[in-house]
A and B are shown apart, each in its own frame.
Chain A
Amino acid sequence: SAVISQKPSRDICQRGTSLTIQCQVDSQVTMMFWYRQQPGQSLTLIATANQGSEATYESGFVIDKFPISRPNLTFSTLTVSNMSPEDSSIYLCSVDTTGYGYTFGSGTRLTVV
């Protein structure tokens, strides 16, 4: 199965600033998925990122707040912009592992103060 390197693993940020989260996959994948897990909540899909095209955002998530880049088939970034304490969550990237479900990065624990 694919191996994902996600960083940073955690960060504490000031409100109003932005944080970019990176995910590097050890194999080429068509789609990458970005999830958010707020405290006590399920994992919620933010967007799906295809290489070479704009990401597709789920309801409640917008590109201005969560811009995503997908420059090639092994890498993607998610930026959390103009952060507020409500953005404090765990953010995870994920790729499909053919026939074996999905593989997730280790997650980025973000705290906004």
Chain B
Amino acid sequence: DQQVKQNSPSLSVQEGRISILNCDYTNSMFDYFLWYKKYPAEGPTFLISISSIKDKNEDGRFTVFLNKSAKHLSLHIVPSQPGDSAVYFCAATISDGAYSGAGSYQLTFGKGTKLSVIP
């Protein structure tokens, strides 16, 4: 049973346009969500996160939206750049509201979405 789902294995977007990557989860206990970007031959790199007490978190060109009732989150990249081409993983964890990076939280990942930004 996959608790974190990324139903789109791939996405192509023109440079300068918005990229929207979606993620659904089934475990209502998840209260902290993270997005990672992964280039070939490299490990995943942390991108942005959101706590369940928020519905939006923004960092530069990256915004994550969380809809708890729908158990859905999305990552928006505006404007998209060719360097954004990578695989994006959604991840979730149960922190019981205490997430402070203390190092004891296990992540559940989606399968990833490969984003291609076309120049």
Assess whether A13 is interfacial by the CB under 8 Å rule.
Answer: no
A58 and chain B: residue at smallest CB distance = B106
Q: CA A76 – CA B105 in complex, angstroms?
A: 18
Contact digits for A82-113, partner B, Cβ 8 Å, 1 yes 0 no:
00000000001011111111111111010000
Q: Which of A97, A101, A107 has the most CB of B within 10 A?
A: A101
A100 and chain B: residue at smallest CB distance = B46
Q: Is the CB of A42 within 8 A of B89?
A: yes
Segment at the A interface, from B13-21, B34-42, B66-74: B34-42
Contact for A41 among B41, B47, B107, B111, CB less than 8 A: B111
Q: Is the CB of A95 within 8 A of B111?
A: no
Assess whether A30 is interfacial by the CB under 8 Å rule.
Answer: yes
Assess whether B86 is interfacial by the CB under 8 Å rule.
Answer: no
Chain A interface residue count, CB cutoff 8 Å, equals: 31
A-B contact count (CB 8 A): 73
Assess whether A77 is interfacial by the CB under 8 Å rule.
Answer: no
Shortest CB-to-CB span from A94 to chain B, Å, is 8
A103 and chain B: residue at smallest CB distance = B46
Contact for A40 among B36, B46, B49, B111, CB less than 8 A: B111
Assess whether A6 is interfacial by the CB under 8 Å rule.
Answer: yes
Q: Is the CB of B43 within 8 A of A106?
A: yes
Q: CA A45 – CA B92 in complex, angstroms?
A: 12
Contact for A43 among B49, B100, B105, B109, CB less than 8 A: B109
A4 and chain B: residue at smallest CB distance = B43
Q: Is the CB of B46 within 8 A of A107?
A: no
> Do A42 and B110 contact each other (CB < 8 Å), given the known contacts A29-B103, A99-B101?
yes
Contact for A42 among B43, B100, B101, B111, CB less than 8 A: B111
Assess whether A9 is interfacial by the CB under 8 Å rule.
Answer: yes
Q: Is the CB of B89 within 8 A of A43?
A: yes
B106 and chain A: residue at smallest CB distance = A45
- A-B contact sample (13 more), CB < 8 A, given A30-B103, A41-B111, A104-B44: A4-B43, A29-B103, A33-B106, A42-B110, A43-B109, A45-B107, A96-B101, A96-B104, A98-B101, A99-B101, A100-B46, A101-B46, A107-B41
* Residues of A near any B CB (own CB < 8 A): 1, 4, 6, 9, 29-31, 33, 40-45, 48, 92, 94-107, 109
